[in-house]
Amino acid sequence: MTAIYMRALVVGVLMFVQPLVAQELAPDFSLKLLGGEKSHSLSDYRGKVVYLDFWASWCAPCRQSLPALSKLQDELGSEQFEVLAINLDMNPEDALSFLAEYPVSYTVLADKTGSISRAYDLVGLPSSVLVAKDGSIIQSFQGFHPSHITKLKRALGFLIK
């Protein structure tokens, strides 16, 4: 299956979720772990499919999306797929309190200045970006509904082969 055909197939699967199709490379970044010092860059995950999930403690739909993504990460493992959550709270304590109530099993990074969310042209939360193994953007999403996980699983079936 050619890369172009596979990308079209995945985009077709995802069309039922609020899409914004793009073909460019995802902007790279380096952010520290929420409440930590270690930095992670998007380029560190090249060779894996990455789901960037932008969220904040005040985001009501994030109470559903973070646990659902954590379950998905647990199901799929981290060999070929990685959820990277990017928190946009200015006060890290707000985010840490949120995570105490809604714990996740994936990496959570802090973007206190909002510079990464601006690089991705986000307009609301939660927003997510699906990044292919080669670093290109497959799809961007705004909002969350539990049915998104089913559609994402279907797309990941094609992407992580």
Q: What stretches of 1-159 adopt beta strand conformation (E)? A: 30-32, 39-41, 49-55, 81-87, 107-110, 127-131, 137-142
Tell me the domains of the chain and their CATH numbers: 3-159 (3.40.30.10)
Q: What is the pTM of this model?
A: 0.85
| Alpha carbon distance 129, 152 (integer Å) | 11
> Where do we find the tokens 């994402």?
152
> Where do we find the tokens 């060999």?
79
pLDDT by residue for the chain (161 residues), tens only, comes to 555 544 544 544 444 344 444 468 999 999 999 999 999 999 999 999 999 999 999 999 999 999 999 999 999 999 999 999 999 999 999 999 999 999 999 999 999 999 999 999 998 999 999 999 999 999 999 999 999 999 999 999 999 97
| Helices 147-159, 3-14: crossing angle, 10 deg rounding | 170
Peptide bond into 103 cis (omega under 30): no
pLDDT given for residue 17 in this prediction: 40
Q: Report strand pairing: 127-131 vs 137-142.
A: antiparallel
pLDDT given for residue 161 in this prediction: 79
DSSP state of 43: G
